A and B are shown apart, each in its own frame.
Chain A
Amino acid sequence: MRPFFELLKKIIHTGVGKTRFLMASIGLGIAMLLILVAIQVHSDFNQLLYSTKNQNETADFLVINKKITNANMGQTGKSAFSPEEIDHIRQEPFVQAFGLITSSQYKVVVQAPGDLHFATDMFFESVPDSFIDVKNDDWKWNAGDRTIPIILPSDFLNLYNFGFSLSQDLPQISQETVKALPLQVVISGNNISEQYIGHVVGFSDRISSFLVPASFMQWANEKYGTGRAAGTSRVIIKTPDPSNPSLVKFLEDNGYTTNQDKLKFSKTRMIVQTIVSVVGFFGLILLLFAMLVFSMFIQLIIASCKKEIQLLVMLGTAPVQLKRYLLKQFVPLYIIIGVLSLAILAGLQYITATILAKHEMVISPWPGAGVFAGVAGVLALVYLVNRYTVNAYVNKES
């Protein structure tokens, strides 16, 4: 085929409109790059959110409760989740683990020991152990133990240390001291009142409540409780990605609320996703125009060599040969553009990975599989459109 194509080169001039062709090539390159960047950024973002290396940054625990509004205020039942609602939450795809927060059905009074003269009414709640961020061997309770391990919210001690104690002229207390203090815990209910020793084993940043082991809670609720099961008004979920827009939407749709701070990332993410989509969209538009120009370019070549093509066919050149020749003039260029775009993207990705690594965010320094698929897809599309154009116009002229 080669010597024949050499001669065809002298007959079918593909040199017409070189600048236009160059522009279209650059356009195709930019379009390809934009599309690849959109795909890559999307994949990078997923890596940041879901990859095990970055897991600590994103996986999070959310305590969810119903919003207390003026309408449901004062009606305890209204703020509790029904079993259907609980099932509903449990089945959402973004819920990795689910736990009920059980509240106490008895009265609790806590007194500080010695001369601290500190006593307060309180409540307890319990969650399944897997949701607790305090790891301590003392966090267990067996029937008969007089000592109850307690987890306090970090915020609680902060409120005391930096708000209350300063204004009341009381001493500030360190976490260690609190852990060392044996608290007198008086639990009453069902006409019984008993004293226990409370032992603070840790401070939780995750759950803003006074936590006791679930085993104690169950036992105490039976012993001191009123018997009627109180509804669950707070649940805790583990989610791989608290910025997941569908999670935010789910909460909003159902009138649930959680620590809004943890959802803040969601907005940023939506903005980034929008920008990435817009970039990808522009890439597609540009690709469309590049393909249009290429098609017009092929039309131009074929139209300007109409007579030559007709004579070639008359002499016995198969339309297949002509098509193959014409495609051969373009396809290598497309492949070069594809490889170049891929190389530029790989460079960008490497730089991005290096910069992010400094901020302890791990992404692969190599372009993702999606990018290669993207290159293949765009090239295949361009090839198909070209082949269609060549087919249509060669058939028309021959």
Chain B
Amino acid sequence: MQIQLENLMPVPLKDKLLQRDSGVWNKEVIFTPGSFVKIKAPSGTGKTTLVHYLYHIRYDYTGKVLVDGRPWQSYSRNEVASMRQQQVSIVFQDLRLFEQLTAEENITLKRVMLPQPYCSAEKVKEMAARLNVTHVLQQSSKTLSYGERQRIAIIRALVQPFQWLLMDEPFSHLDEDNTQCAAALIADECKARNAGFILTDLDNDQHFSYDVHYHL
């Protein structure tokens, strides 16, 4: 699955963004399948907006987001759903867990969305152990700390098949150790799938061996 941007420009930020030089906005960008992409951006330059455009949950832009050569708009709702189940996964900045479910149920929901789950329940337990969240799996996600939720959201993103993983400041509430664990897990899972990721963050980091760097 190839993602390609053509003169992408968010309508609400247009005036502001035209005044500064960007590596992504209003440019031709091709994200090569399987590559680890880091997008660094200061606050307010449209980081989350970009991720939402890439995931096709915001549409207020000019230009195009092409997926396998076709603009997102040409995909039907059910096609988009199927892609979100099998080709593209996401860790939202605001996590977006269901508060009425336990941590484990939040992961299972995504896992069994496909009639034939990609991951087994044991595999989920294994990932939870690697991220040190085994003890909170049975808790309601409402009662979790933000850091715990962030790790649950990461596991949720990793239980499905994907070719691209979108991450919006995925380690913002994790300490250094947990960040290392999470990054290692993500790298392993991406390699296992021959998948790439697009990660946005405020600063430079050494969590992954990135293939490409962009400045927003």
Contact = CB atoms under 8 A, between A and B. Distances in A.
A and B interact physically = yes
Interface of A: 1, 3-4, 7, 10-11, 308, 311, 313-321, 395, 398
When A and B form their complex, which 6 residue pairs have the shortest distance between CB atoms, in order from nearest? A316-B84, A318-B81, A316-B85, A3-B112, A4-B112, A7-B109
Given A7-B105, A10-B105, A316 B96 contact: no
A320 B78 contact: yes
Interface residues of B, number: 21
Contact of B82 (A311, A314, A318, A395): A318
28 contacts: A3-B108, A3-B112, A4-B112, A7-B105, A7-B108, A7-B109, A10-B101, A11-B100, A11-B109, A311-B98, A314-B57, A315-B96, A315-B109, A315-B110, A316-B81, A316-B82, A316-B84, A316-B85, A316-B113, A316-B160, A317-B113, A318-B77, A318-B81, A318-B85, A319-B77, A319-B78, A320-B78, A320-B81
Nearest to A314: B57
B81 A319 contact: yes
B115 interface: yes
Contacts of B57: 314
Contact of B109 (A1, A4, A313): A4
Contacts, number: 57
Given A1-B115, A314-B57, A308 B98 contact: yes
Contacts of A317: 81, 113
Interface string B67-111: 000000000011001111100000000001010110001001110
A135 B96 CA distance: 93
Nearest to A5: B112
Contacts of A7: 101, 105, 108-109, 112
A317 B115 CA distance: 12
Interface in B14-37: none
B166 to A, nearest CB: 12
B78 A315 contact: no
A210 B195 CA distance: 106
Contacts of B109: 4, 7, 11, 315
Contacts of A395: 77
A314 B96 contact: yes
A93 B151 CA distance: 82
Contact of A318 (B55, B78, B98, B160): B78
Contacts of A308: 98
Contacts of A1: 115
Nearest to A394: B77
A278 B160 CA distance: 58
Contacts of B55: 314
A333 to B, nearest CB: 24
A398 B80 CA distance: 12
B97 to A, nearest CB: 9
B113 A315 contact: yes
Contacts of B108: 3, 7
B110 A311 contact: no
Nearest to B106: A7
Nearest to A2: B112
A74 to B, nearest CB: 86
A311 B96 contact: yes
Interface in B34-84: 55, 57, 77-78, 81-84
Given A1-B115, A11-B109, 16 more contacts: A4-B109, A7-B105, A10-B101, A11-B98, A308-B98, A311-B96, A313-B77, A315-B110, A315-B113, A316-B81, A316-B82, A316-B160, A319-B78, A319-B81, A321-B81, A395-B77
A5 B96 CA distance: 20
A55 to B, nearest CB: 60
A308 B100 CA distance: 10
A11 B160 CA distance: 20
Contacts of A320: 78, 81
Contacts of A315: 84, 96, 109-110, 113
B77 A398 contact: yes
